[in-house]
């Protein structure tokens, strides 16, 4: 593995740059590299300002997903952030692209935060059944106030730079061209005395607002009473109002590990990985370029495709018409692919065709069934349909959606029926990954996301 943190000096400013593509995730090597670079910068008497920034398109997008579910590796992120906050030298964070989860918590431990206008910021850990475990629930309220922090963190909300500035979460929005320029600009302004640093942990506790917290708690009880982590987040936020920072951080960490031990965390993280995997068809490494795609059938999906600028349709106006979609081809052998669009309520899959496409009712989801196991062609088709704004579940031989939905007919046990059907779909070899069944059931048939999916539950 290459170096993930780089230290350079420009005059009296040290630039600490995170270089862990694609999203500068906070892996163990990054955490260790940050401490090493900080040690060097603090030991250099010529350095007055330390700027933290990310190389590439983002600042830090959060934790390293490869470490999910594994024992923590030192240095742990809370210790890194405490070191940043306690530094006697000025530490500024330059935020661009995104600053999410642990990335935003790192910024909160710095003494000044400046963002580019298109930066997105947030603490979305609740969506994985967790809470921010590196100071987010303790430091954000000191900047934004309790109510704003509670609403944003319990919802996992992402905000733009202007909203962050207006709330007090960041200190400025920069208009310069690069993160390095922004860092040097902030350093110059600080040395000239035109900006004031803020060590978040030294700010006063946010004011307790019992009525506002109770209102948020009631909203959560109405919208998602079955969820675990949002209510632990409220407990951590209450601690931020009443305890010194060190005690609040300890309470946050305790609640974080309670969430880690929750089955919901396992289910939501399973869904996270499963959702990221569905776009890849196993065995499709050899690319195929489609030069002519013929969609056959009568379905409103044709009108949707017709409106999309990335997809050129040559005929889609009459019921039953064929639709031709042309895509740029780099292949030596042009490929023509026929796909039959079928209504999952009424039509029967025509297995003599190479592919069937099922637009799933009341959603932007499609199921693309490969009847002849042509993974490279199926991957190319998914690329075209994704460009038209759809999310696609790939399957083979027969429709998973139809099998799952049929299990609900005349059934009063929604979850258990889907779990039984999910096992049947897996045993019949209709999916590339068992987790594809889980995503499909959650996104289109209402299976609870925090349970991970019917197949995940059935084998648990």
Residues involved in catalysis: 105, 125
d(CA 204, CA 105): 18
């Amino acid at each position: 593995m290459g170096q993930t943190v780089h230290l350079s000096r420009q005059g009296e400013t040290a630039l600490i740059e995170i270089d862990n593509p694609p999203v500068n995730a906070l892996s163990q090597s990054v955490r260790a590299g940050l401490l090493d670079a900080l040690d060097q910068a603090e030991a250099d008497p010529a350095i007055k300002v330390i700027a933290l920034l990310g190389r590439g398109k983002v600042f830090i997008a959060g934790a390293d997903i490869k470490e999910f579910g594994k024992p923590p590796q030192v240095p742990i992120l809370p210790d890194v952030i405490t070191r940043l906050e306690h530094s006697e030298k000025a530490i500024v964070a330059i935020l661009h692209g995104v600053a999410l989860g642990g990335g935003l918590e790192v910024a909160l431990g710095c003494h000044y935060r400046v963002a580019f206008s298109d930066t997105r910021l947030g603490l979305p850990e609740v969506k994985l059944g967790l809470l921010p475990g590196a100071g987010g629930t303790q430091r954000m309220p000191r900047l934004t106030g309790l109510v704003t922090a509670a609403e944003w963190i319990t919802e996992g909300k992402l905000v733009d730079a202007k909203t962050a500035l207006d709330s007090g979460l960041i200190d400025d929005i920069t208009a310069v061209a690069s993160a390095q320029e922004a860092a040097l600009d902030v350093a110059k302004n600080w040395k000239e005395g035109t900006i004031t640093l803020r060590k978040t942990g030294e700010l006063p506790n946010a004011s307790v607002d019992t009525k506002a917290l109770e209102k948020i708690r009631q909203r959560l009880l109405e919208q998602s009473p079955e969820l675990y982590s949002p209510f632990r987040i409220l407990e951590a936020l209450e601690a931020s109002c009443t305890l010194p920072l060190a005690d609040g951080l300890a309470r946050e960490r305790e609640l974080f590990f309670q969430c880690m031990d929750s089955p919901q965390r396992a289910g939501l993280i399973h869904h996270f990985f499963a959702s990221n995997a569905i776009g890849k068809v196993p065995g499709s490494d050899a690319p195929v370029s489609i030069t002519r795609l013929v969609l056959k059938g009568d379905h409103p999906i044709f009108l949707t495709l017709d409106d999309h600028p990335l997809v050129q349709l040559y005929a889609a106006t009459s019921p039953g018409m064929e639709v031709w979609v042309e895509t740029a081809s780099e292949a030596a052998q042009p490929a023509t692919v026929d796909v039959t669009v079928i209504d999952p309520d009424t039509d029967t899959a025509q297995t003599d065709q190479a592919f069937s496409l099922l637009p799933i009712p009341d959603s932007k989801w499609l199921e693309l069934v490969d009847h002849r196991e042509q993974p490279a062609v199926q991957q190319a088709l998914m690329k075209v349909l994704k460009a038209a704004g759809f999310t696609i579940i790939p399957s083979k031989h027969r429709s998973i959606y139809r099998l799952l939905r049929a299990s609900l007919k005349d059934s009063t046990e929604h979850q258990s029926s889907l779990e039984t059907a999910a096992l049947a779909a897996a045993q019949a070899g209709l999916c590339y990954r068992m987790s594809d069944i889980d995503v499909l059931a959650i996104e289109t048939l209402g299976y609870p996301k925090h349970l991970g999916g019917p197949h995940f539950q059935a084998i648990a």
